[in-house]
Amino acid sequence: MRPRDVIRTKRDHGELSPEQIDAFVAAAAHLDGSGWERYHLTALLMAIYLNGLSPAETAYLTVAMANSGRRLDLSDIAGPKVDKHSSGGVGDKTSLILGPLAAACGVIVPMMSGRGLGHTGGTLDKLEAIAGFRVRLSEEEFRTALRRVGLGMIGPTADMAPADRTLYALRDVTATVESIPLITASILSKKLAEGIDGLVMDVKCGRGAFMQTRPEAQALAASLLRVGTANGLRMRALITAMDVPLGCAVGHTLEVIEAIEVLKSRGPHDVRELSILLATRMVELAGLGDAAQAEQKVRAALASGAGLDVFRRCIEQQGGDARVIDDYHRLPTAPYTAAVVAPRRGFLTQMNAQDVGIATLLLGGGRQRADDTIDPAVGILCRAKPGEFVSAGATIYEVHYRDVQRWHEARERLEGSFTIGETPPPDTPLVLEELV
Ligand code: URA
């Protein structure tokens, strides 16, 4: 089967056959001289981006990608296994909070996360701000973490969903990320390979998300639910607003601190409530209570410090320096801080999450090329959020930086990222919709 014929099928709006999808996935997983080159893969990705995939093609692609590598069988570990995944946002550190909270309630959480994609942050990069934290565990180490702590936070191992690793990297640099079938297959192939029983999806919607409009986010959530449940996963999907950064901190060290603060029953209200809601859904999916009972368990785990204790044990189990929980100076710190201030008094009416994400990237807190290393110390603290009244000269952003040139680039982006008006903006809900 010639790659060009497969590409032509999709280019001309045809339906890919199972054999054609298998050939594409095998090539992505191995690139072994079967006639497929990277340029064939990217051409087909673009054809899919432009012309879409039918539900049947999407489902087939997802399972083929999950089967492109090893699929974990965790049935020997007692307890319900439930994970959560987000479609990508700015300042979203909820995984660091809800994983420990759900585990403290008795859920086994085999959390396999990703790195930052585009202007959005990734859980793995955040965890690596903690000295020594190993996100690469052998399968045996991962199983031990799940047995001992109830939580393991890792990246996809080399032999799990290898087709996604190739395709994810190619999509990131070829403007083919924002595709519903490709996002569905990317997320769910990893989740199916992880051996879970249930999955809570947080589909982000708005300026800082890959799905910018509500209908797009609904279509992504429906696609994820359709393919996930057809493959035996118990699922819930929430559509949550991502116009404004979640919480105040954006950037790795700053986000880890904010997550720990929430686990200490402090921290911003929006991060805390979204983490509690998502953890509640995980507890429900695990069959450990109805909605009210699950929420009560999660709130109790937060108030008692049980969630914080799980996070501490998770860090220790994965080789990290758990003393960061009591001493934030043990995290990498940027040498300089500067402020972006309000040019006049009034209500902060808008703050563009995408600009804040890109400014963090410009500071060195993200990858502009696949092989870039991340500076975990840099980042942005939002000192005011939409709805607040600010005086002229008040700090809107506290910027943590290392390099003056990069700070200037970030400042330019940040100065255009917010608006100030005479009247407060309307209240907008964080959770827009929930789908079962
Ligand atoms: N997260 C993923 O794992 N894949 C995507 O394509 C987007 C978000």
Ramachandran region, residue 385 (left: φ > 0; alpha: ψ -120 to 50; beta: rest): beta
93 close to 379: Cβ distance less than 8 angstroms: no
User: 155 CB under 6 A from ligand 1?
Assistant: no
Q: Decide the pairing of beta strands 346-351 and 82-86.
A: unpaired
Assess whether 329 carries a catalytic annotation: no
Closest CA to 353 of 378, 377, 376, 386: 386
Which of 45, 87, 174, 176 to probe ligand 1 with, by most ligand atoms within 8 A of CB? 87
Report CA(124)–ligand 1 centroid distance (Å). 13
Strand segments, DSSP code E, in 286-378 are 336-341, 346-351
Q: Is 187 in the pocket of ligand 1 (CB under 6 A)?
A: yes
One DSSP character per residue, 170-214 reads: HHHHTT----HHHHHHHHHHHHHHTT-SEEEEEEEESTTSSB-SH
Per-residue pLDDT of the chain (436 residues; tens, 9 = 90+): 899 999 999 999 999 999 999 999 999 998 777 889 999 999 999 999 999 999 999 999 999 999 999 999 999 999 999 999 998 899 999 999 999 999 999 999 999 887 776 777 789 999 999 999 999 999 999 999 999 999 999 987 888 999 998 998 899 889 899 999 999 999 999 999 999 999 999 999 999 998 999 999 999 999 999 999 999 999 999 999 999 999 999 999 999 999 999 999 999 999 999 999 999 999 999 999 999 999 999 999 999 999 999 999 999 999 999 999 999 999 999 999 999 999 999 999 999 999 999 999 999 998 776 677 899 999 999 999 999 999 999 999 999 999 999 999 999 999 999 999 999 999 999 999 999 8
**Is 171 marked active-site?**
yes
CB distance 357 to ligand 1 below 6 Å: no
172 annotated active-site: no
Q: Does the active-site annotation cover 214?
A: no
pLDDT computed for residue 282 by the predictor:
98
Report the pLDDT value the prediction gives residue 285, as an integer from 0 to 100. Answer: 97
**What's the pLDDT at 33?**
72
Q: Out of 112, 120, 176, 177, give the residue to mutate to test ligand 1, the one with the largest number of ligand atoms within 8 Å of its CB.
A: 177
114 lines ligand 1 (CB under 6 A): yes
Backbone region of residue 132 per phi and psi (left: phi > 0; alpha: psi in -120 to 50; beta: other values):
left
Q: Reply yes or no on whether 17 is catalytic.
A: no
> Of all protein residues, whose CA lies closest to atom 1 belonging to ligand 1?
87
The pLDDT of residue 370: 62
| 171 CA: nearest ligand 1 atom | 6
Task: Tell me how far the alpha carbon of residue 372 lies from the centroid of ligand 1, in angstroms.
Answer: 19
According to the model, what pLDDT value does residue 119 have? 78
CA atoms within 13 A on the CB side of 408: 2
If you search the block for the tokens 């939409």, which residue do you land on? Answer: 386
Q: Is the pTM of this model over 0.75?
A: yes
Query: Among positive and negative, which fits the CA dihedral 322, 328, 329, 333?
Result: positive
Neighbouring CB atoms inside 10 A of 50's CB total 12
Q: Which residue has the tokens 């029983």?
A: 197
